[in-house]
């Protein structure tokens, strides 16, 4: 048996130490990186699903709800009564309802996915359908239908039903959106609209969910009513045990094995409906993780080669300082990079110790250079932010070029907003978000004709409604500008009121972002103290302050107004 010398023992010992250390660190790092990557994949897929819900499905549903809400509050419908001697009607329309029916016919013709729009009367169970369905049974009583009951019991909310087959002979599968109509607290009836089930399939199927992924929509009982495979329509997801086992809450995402492949499932409940939007995507985890694994192997091999070389050099000298050297190496392996080998002798160990110390100095120098690089990156980030700010100011100038009365308005609002925020003690990140949002708060006015912006007389209701859309227009304009993602949410709310009477969403109180409340106050004050089409003579500072005080607690946040007044006085 060959005897291993001290040199071999030193080399083997160091190799063993480095292999064990690198292997342990490598495995831990790989597992940690794997967890991070999987979490990022899950977050990314859920975000994609959320965007599909918000910008496609919910947008369509919101549009349909808007139509139903509008007619449920229409004065003619709210005050509707049967004419004396009027019989119950199912397949016809009374003369005094034809004006509304004609308007509904326009909706139906312009939107082929709308099957029917109707008003169901509580008085006698009549239903006035547009377009008229002559196949409806004459004994039809709307008050017994599920959609009618659900709308009546909803407490004034607009409701959606699960898919069902229409009562006529068309056998159309529809989904109903409906809302109760009340007059002085008493039930008048229900306004409803039947949406063809195929419309939901079209919306879902038009959304690209990666190359191999797909979306589906199920109702509260698990029946699929939107799926790229038409053969799956109206199948029940509860029959698929692998898939059903993943749907354990209202919202979530998980990676699991489905039909022999690693897959990621993301799902979320569509508000107010009980429906669930599900995204399913086959996943190649090996492809996602291979760069991390290869890097870990590369680091391990490099470490072994370097260690072998150092061990070989050290093993050439056998003296007492060996333990000292090994102790220092052990300390350095624990991260104490400032440790140095101190050799009292004048022999080879002294040289080796000095070389090792020089090597560690070089390593420390490299670390210092890396830190310097980090500082340079920080400087570049600052310059990039200034570039962003320049871009934002350019956009603000584009806004004001369309409105001769608001030149300099955006910058004044920005300065005043940031002064208020600093007084409130907000951090740098919030100040950056506020700065961009305040400069761009009126960017949506790019989508409003200049003759409306500069009109000196009273605006018509249609013109005022167009003005009210500018926060949403601005929000959509900045949809794909990543560095403005937080700022666009703030500018969307800058016309909301704390009493809930603002627009576009009617948010109130703490539902409104603090930054949006600040911009609202600064915007209003600047508008009062400068010329506008509807007011050529601006208010004085004192007059404007009195107006701001009147709006405390209703239009404006009280704390923000108080800070504004403190700054002005």
Higher-confidence residue of 486 and 234: namely 486
The top-level CATH class assigned to 401-568 is mainly alpha
Locate the domains of the chain by residue range: 73-199, 401-568
pLDDT at 517 > cutoff 80: yes
Position 389 confidence tier, pLDDT thresholds 50, 70, 90: low
DSSP string, 284-349: -HHHHHHHHHHHHHHHHHHHHHHHHHHHHHHHT--STHHHHHHHHHHHHHTT-TT------SSSHH
pLDDT at 491 > cutoff 90: yes
CA-wise closest residue to 167 among 154, 158, 159, 176: 176
Position 524 confidence tier, pLDDT thresholds 50, 70, 90: very high
CA-wise closest residue to 251 among 282, 215, 283, 275: 275
DSSP bridge pairs for 183? 186
pLDDT at 318 > cutoff 60: no
Angle at 353 between CA 350 and CA 356, to 5 degrees: 150
pLDDT at 152 > cutoff 90: yes
**Mean pLDDT over the full length of the chain:** 82
pLDDT at 8: 66
- Dihedral sign computed on CA atoms, order 139, 144, 145, 151: positive
Model confidence pLDDT, tens digit, residues 340-354? 776 666 666 677 777
For 73-199, CATH number out of 3.30.450.20, 3.20.20.220, 1.10.1530.10, 2.60.120.10 equals: 3.30.450.20
pLDDT at 2: 52
179 and 74 Cβ atoms separated by less than 8 Å = no
Higher-confidence residue of 255 and 66: namely 66
CA atoms within 13 A on the CB side of 286: 2
- Rounded CA separation 289/59 (Å): 36
- Rounded CA separation 209/211 (Å): 7
pLDDT at 151 > cutoff 90: yes
Model confidence pLDDT, tens digit, residues 165-206? 876 666 778 889 999 999 999 999 999 999 988 888 787 777
φ and ψ at residue 94, rounded to 5 degrees: -70, 155
**Residues 6+ away with beta carbon under 8 Å from 129:** 90, 91, 116, 117, 118, 136
| Shared fold status for 73-199 and 401-568 | no
pLDDT at 319 > cutoff 60: no
Residue labelled with tokens 């509904």? 104
270 and 53 Cβ atoms separated by less than 8 Å = yes
pLDDT at 13 > cutoff 80: no
Q: How many helices (H) and strands (E) does the chain have?
A: 19, 11
- Determine which of 23-37, 116-130, 433-447, 541-555 has the lowest per-residue pLDDT on average: 23-37
CA-wise closest residue to 198 among 166, 178, 225: 225
Burial class (CB in 10 A: 0-12, 13-18, 19+), 154: middle
For 217: left if phi > 0, alpha if psi spans -120 to 50, otherwise beta; the answer is beta
pLDDT at 43: 80
- Rounded CA separation 332/31 (Å): 25
pLDDT at 534: 64
Model confidence pLDDT, tens digit, residues 57-108? 888 889 999 999 999 999 999 999 989 888 888 888 998 999 999 999 998 8
Three-class SS state of 157 = coil
């Amino acid at each position: 048996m060959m005897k291993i010398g001290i040199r071999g023992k030193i080399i083997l010992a160091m190799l063993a130490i480095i292999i064990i250390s690198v292997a342990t660190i490598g495995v831990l790092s790989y597992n940690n990186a794997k967890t991070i990557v999987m979490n990022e994949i899950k977050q990314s897929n859920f975000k994609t699903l959320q965007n599909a819900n918000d910008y496609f499905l919910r947008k369509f549903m919101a549009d349909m709800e808007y139509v139903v809400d509008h007619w449920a509050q229409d004065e003619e419908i709210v005050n509707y009564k049967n004419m004396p001697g009027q019989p119950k009607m199912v397949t016809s329309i009374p003369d005094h309802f034809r004006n509304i029916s004609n308007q509904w016919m326009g909706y139906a013709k312009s939107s082929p996915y709308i099957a029917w729009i109707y008003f169901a009367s509580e008085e006698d169970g009549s239903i006035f359908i547009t377009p008229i369905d002559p196949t409806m049974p004459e004994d039809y009583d709307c008050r017994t239908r599920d959609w009618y009951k659900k709308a009546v019991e909803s407490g004034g909310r607009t409701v959606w039903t699960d898919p069902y087959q229409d009562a006529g002979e068309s056998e159309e599968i529809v989904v109903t959106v409906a809302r109760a109509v009340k007059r002085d607290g008493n039930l008048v009836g229900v306004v409803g609209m039947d949406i063809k089930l195929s419309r939901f399939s079209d919306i879902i199927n038009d959304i690209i969910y990666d190359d191999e992924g797909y979306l589906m929509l199920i109702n509260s009982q698990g029946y699929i009513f939107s799926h790229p495979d038409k053969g799956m329509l109206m199948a029940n997801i509860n029959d698929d045990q692998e898939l059903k086992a993943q749907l354990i809450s209202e919202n979530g995402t998980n990676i699991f094995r489905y039909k022999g492949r690693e897959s990621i499932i993301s799902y979320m409940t569509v508000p107010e409906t009980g429906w669930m939007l599900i995204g399913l995507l086959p996943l190649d985890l090996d492809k996602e993780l291979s760069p991390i694994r290869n890097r870990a192997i590369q680091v391990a091999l490099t470490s072994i080669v370097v260690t072998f070389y150092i061990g070989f050099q050290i093993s050439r000298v056998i003296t007492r300082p060996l333990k000292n050297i090994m102790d220092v190496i052990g300390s350095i392996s624990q991260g104490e990079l400032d440790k140095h080998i101190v050799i009292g002798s004048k022999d080879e160990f002294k040289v080796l110790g000095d070389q090792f110390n020089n090597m560690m100095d070089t390593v420390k120098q490299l670390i210092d250079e890396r830190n310097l690089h980090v500082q340079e990156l920080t400087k570049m980030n600052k310059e990039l932010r200034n570039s962003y700010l320049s871009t934002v100011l350019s956009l603000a100038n584009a806004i004001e070029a369309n409105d001769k009365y608001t030149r300099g308005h955006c910058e004044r609002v920005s300065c005043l907003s940031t002064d208020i925020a600093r007084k409130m003690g907000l951090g740098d990140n919030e100040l950056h978000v506020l700065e961009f949002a305040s400069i761009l708060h009126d960017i949506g006015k790019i989508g409003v004709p200049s003759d409306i912006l500069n009109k000196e007389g009273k605006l018509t209701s249609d013109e005022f409604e167009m003005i009210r859309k500018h926060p949403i227009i601005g929000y959509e304009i900045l949809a794909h500008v990543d560095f403005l993602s937080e700022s666009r949410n703030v500018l969307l709310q800058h016309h909301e009121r704390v009493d809930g009477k603002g627009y576009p969403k009617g948010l109130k109180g703490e539902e409104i972002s603090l930054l949006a409340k600040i911009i609202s106050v600064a915007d209003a004050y600047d508008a009062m103290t400068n010329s506008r089409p509807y007011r050529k003579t601006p208010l004085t500072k004192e007059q404007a302050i009195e107006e701001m005080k009147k709006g405390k607690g209703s239009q404006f946040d009280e704390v923000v107004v108080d800070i504004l007044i403190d700054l002005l006085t």
